[in-house]
Structure 1
Amino acid sequence: MGFAILVGLAGWLSGCAPAEQHVALGTLERERVTLPATVDEVIVALPVMAGTWVGQGTVLVQLDDRQQQAQVARALAEVERAEAQLDKLRNGARPEEVAAAQAQVTGTQATLQEAESSYARARQLQRQQLISQADVDHALASRDAASATLTAAREALLTLTNGTRQEDLRMAGAELAAAEASLASERKRLADLTLTAPRDGWLDSLPWNLGERVRSGSPLAVLLVGEQPYARVYVPQRYRVSVQVGDTLMVAVDGVAQPLQGRLRWIANEPAFTPYYALNQSERSRLMYLAEVALGEDAASLPSGVPAQVQLPEVQP
């Protein structure tokens, strides 16, 4: 019912406005670049007002970065720890550590010699029935313990003098690489808290106010970019077959005395309104196809949102 009223109104308007025949109506637009929030955080600075021309790299919105600064500091500390661990493995043991291990070996050798002598005396005394078998067993256990301690001391010395295993070096290198990757990620999150203009353009809007806590994914700033605008118009169905991408078209802009020359850079393949297969032949004639007509440098100073009319080539009835 509502669509039938819309169709009737469009037919009445077309009959009352013959001057608008062969014309696609629309407005001048610029490409929109939306800068979203990457985290839930508070806005602490809005250094540029909406409606201002900004250059690439200009700070538009600053979010509170104190928490993220702490995360970066923690990640940096992990990198330094991993670097120190890898350097330690690469450099090997210090001379003092090797000397201490050598002294440990010498000391355990002396202890073993004493334990062996004690065991030998205990066996002799046991044969003379001067001590019990338990005393001999105790001396034997002391000798075995001293022997095991000497073996452990020698292995520790070999560990220091033989150097670090390649597997340990690779493991330490992998830990360092992981720490560096984590640091890079935290620094990227920190940088994302300062929103800058990715291109030259007009700062169209700042949807959030200073002091508000934004949600991740919410748009923080909207830029209108491009040196000149383009005409965003709706082409009637009967002219769709007569225009192709690349065609030169004349664009009339309200408030500009002379028409501007433009080039059709895109036109939709699907109608903008009700699908054609749901309409009868009469209704299909009122379908519209969204199109974009690029303008030249002579349109660079024109603002966005101004009404525009694109002259279309005449078609045979």
Structure 2
Amino acid sequence: MRLDHLLIASAVCVGLAGCGSKADPVLLGTLEWDRIALPAEASEPVLTLAVKEGDQVGAGQLLLTLDGRRMDAKLAQAQAQVAQQQAQLAELVHGARSEQLDAARAALASAQAGRIEADKQFRRQADLAAKQLVARATLDTARATRDRADAQVATAEAQLRELTHGTRVEQVEQAEAALAAAKSARDEIQLNRSKLDVRAPRAGRIDALPFKPGDQPPINASVASLLVGDAPYARVFVPASQRAGLRDGEKFLVRAKGIDHDLAAHLRSVASEPAFTPYYALTGDDASRLVYRAELVIDAIDGKTLPAGLPVEARPAQ
């Protein structure tokens, strides 16, 4: 009789165990950090590295320096162009100097004297031609010389009027526009020059420095990679059947490969568009289904030291 009671009790326990709730589903993924890649603004050799991989850096801290000699030469040329445009604008605004006016008046007086002399020569040759004492070609030469002298006087008078009346408004505006363009070109080169000193845009940890001193990275190649943010996050993949039940801020427990305890985390976001199941999440029937990428921010303080790329498993916190 006692044996029968034990068998019945065992059957009840097994039945209760079979009727219990299923274990919470495990979400698979990897541990990640927000990452910033810093590109090379110019294809110049790396001169120095101020940090090494794994270092913690602050915002604005110098990471590495690219050779700036080529950019310095371009900057000097741009600054000279600005100075030239400033001088031309000042000349137009202030007008001609007294020495220029004196030279223009002297040139006009010389042209007028030459015209008087040419006119006398023409008249003399005309009288001789009337008496048929000189050839017709000589008279034509004297006439051309007189006309040329008249043109020289007109040119000298126009130049003197230009210096006397001052600069037109349109000329000043053109000079101001040329100066503004030269300053913009200089400022752009100055900005590019400053970016040859690569600095951290945010506080974080150096993840990678792919180039060493002497290497010449191509333009826009990543010369430094930073892991930033207050904590890492687990990037996991949620089956469509569980997507509707997730809410922002929901608590999870995350177990990272090589860590012997669970890490507290909360749901930050879930992608609105589904994706195909990644290879490491291919389990059972889910292998042919779409999943949604989710991000679980690690709340534990010791999560700040965890490296990126660790495989993780996440389950809802009880």
Cα distance in 1 between the residues matched to 2:287 and 2:92: 78
**Counterpart for residue 111 of structure 1:** 114
Are the structure 2 counterparts of residues 128 and 238 from structure 1 closer, same or farther at C-alpha, using a change threshold of 3 Å?
closer
Cα distance in 1 between the residues matched to 2:22 and 2:39: 44
Matched, 1:207 2:210: yes
Cα distance in 1 between the residues matched to 2:97 and 2:296: 75
Aligned AA (1:150): V
Report matched runs for 1:1-317 at 5 Å.
21-127=24-130, 131-244=134-247, 246-253=248-255, 255=259, 260-267=264-271, 269-273=273-277, 282-283=285-286, 288-296=291-299, 298=301, 301-305=304-308, 308-312=312-316
**Counterpart for residue 6 of structure 1:** none
Q: Deviations for 1:159-180, whole angstroms, at most 9, x for unmatched residues?
A: 1112222332232222222222
Are the structure 2 counterparts of residues 308 and 251 from structure 1 closer, same or farther at C-alpha, using a change threshold of 3 Å?
farther
Aligned AA (1:87): A
User: Is contact 2:37–2:224 with CA below 8 Å preserved after alignment?
Assistant: yes
Cα distance in 2 between the residues matched to 1:260 and 1:194: 39
TM-score by length of 2: 0.79
State which drifts further: 192-201 or 104-113.
Answer: 104-113
Q: Deviations for 1:148-205, whole angstroms, at most 9, x for unmatched residues?
A: 2211111111111122223322322222222222212222222222211010001111
Cα distance in 2 between the residues matched to 1:149 and 1:109: 8
Aligned AA (2:29): G
SS in 1 for 2:297: strand
Aligned AA (2:268): L
User: Is contact 1:40–1:214 with CA below 8 Å preserved after alignment?
Assistant: yes
Cα distance in 1 between the residues matched to 2:192 and 2:96: 39
State which drifts further: 87-96 or 21-30.
Answer: 21-30
Deviation at 1:243, TM superposition (A): 0.9
What is the number of equivalent residue pairs in this alignment?
292
TM-score by length of 1: 0.79
Cα distance in 2 between the residues matched to 1:218 and 1:134: 78
User: Is contact 1:57–1:198 with CA below 8 Å preserved after alignment?
Assistant: yes
Deviation at 1:142, TM superposition (A): 3.1
Q: Name structure 1 gaps, 5 residues minimum.
A: 1-17
User: Identity of aligned pairs, percent?
Assistant: 33
Deviation at 1:105, TM superposition (A): 1.7
SS in 2 for 1:41: coil
Aligned AA (2:266): G
Aligned AA (2:74): Q
Q: Name structure 2 gaps, 5 residues minimum.
A: 1-20
Deviation at 1:114, TM superposition (A): 3.0
Aligned AA (2:81): E
User: Is contact 1:233–1:292 with CA below 8 Å preserved after alignment?
Assistant: yes
Deviation at 1:85, TM superposition (A): 1.6
State which drifts further: 295-304 or 103-112.
Answer: 295-304
SS in 1 for 2:45: strand
SS in 2 for 1:215: coil
Deviation at 1:55, TM superposition (A): 0.4
User: Is contact 2:253–2:262 with CA below 8 Å preserved after alignment?
Assistant: no
User: Is contact 1:108–1:150 with CA below 8 Å preserved after alignment?
Assistant: yes
